[in-house]
Chains A and B, each alone.
Chain A
């Protein structure tokens, strides 16, 4: 497996476990756990992807010209 897909897979795995665990502590109903986990998972993934895009853009703007 290539490094990027491997990292993406493990990134999603870690996000899923964190979302599931925190939801299972807070909520009791299985349907609500599923909904809460999905919402938290999507939020974490979207936020981290946006952060990654921001870092890439900043790198492209300021670091790349120096190389």
Chain B
């Protein structure tokens, strides 16, 4: 049975219009959007994971969180028997001691908030008046750099998730057509 070419043309045009409308409606300021954005801030990579980019989200999350926790591990002071109090906790994240770096680090969300709450208290009541602490970890500068860079990278991911085009693209694509690293 042959089809009328005019009907086919109308149908394909209607299909195209429906697809365009669906793409336009793919992004909306909804609870799902807010939940994804907040999740992406709290745990790096989760935003991409929730959008369907599973492998990419996992790789990004592991890389950024890995960088953050390697930085934290570098900021643990070496064990010194001569010290009365064994300060064996990471010193890289502290809102009171390093407020400027904390603004970068807090891009990591939950990890930074947890680290600040758990280990963020200053060692001394007044950092500027007390003597220089020779027991500080040698790689403290590297540790602060790593935690700050990982926080800034998660800000980048967050901007990508906040972009409506990312949502439109994610909804428009079919799951089976996605590549292994999508």
Which residues in A have some Cβ–Cβ distance to B below 8 Å? Answer: 3, 6-7, 10, 13-14, 17-18, 20-22, 24-25, 28-30, 33
Contact = CB atoms under 8 A, between A and B. Distances in A.
B163 to A, nearest CB: 10
B153 A28 contact: no
A21 B142 contact: no
Contacts, number: 48
B179 A17 contact: no
Contacts of A21: 60, 63-64, 153, 156-157
Interface residues of B, number: 24
A17 B149 CA distance: 10
13 contacts: A3-B138, A6-B139, A10-B74, A10-B142, A14-B145, A14-B149, A17-B63, A17-B64, A21-B153, A22-B153, A24-B60, A30-B179, A33-B181
Interface of B: 56, 59-60, 63-64, 66-67, 70, 74, 138-139, 142, 145-146, 149-150, 153, 156-157, 160, 179-182
B55 to A, nearest CB: 9
Given A18-B153, A24-B60, 12 more contacts: A10-B146, A14-B67, A14-B146, A17-B63, A17-B64, A20-B59, A21-B60, A21-B64, A21-B156, A24-B56, A25-B157, A30-B180
Contacts of A20: 59, 63
Contacts of B60: 21, 24
Contacts of A25: 156-157, 160
A17 B153 CA distance: 9
Given A17-B64, A17-B67, A30 B142 contact: no
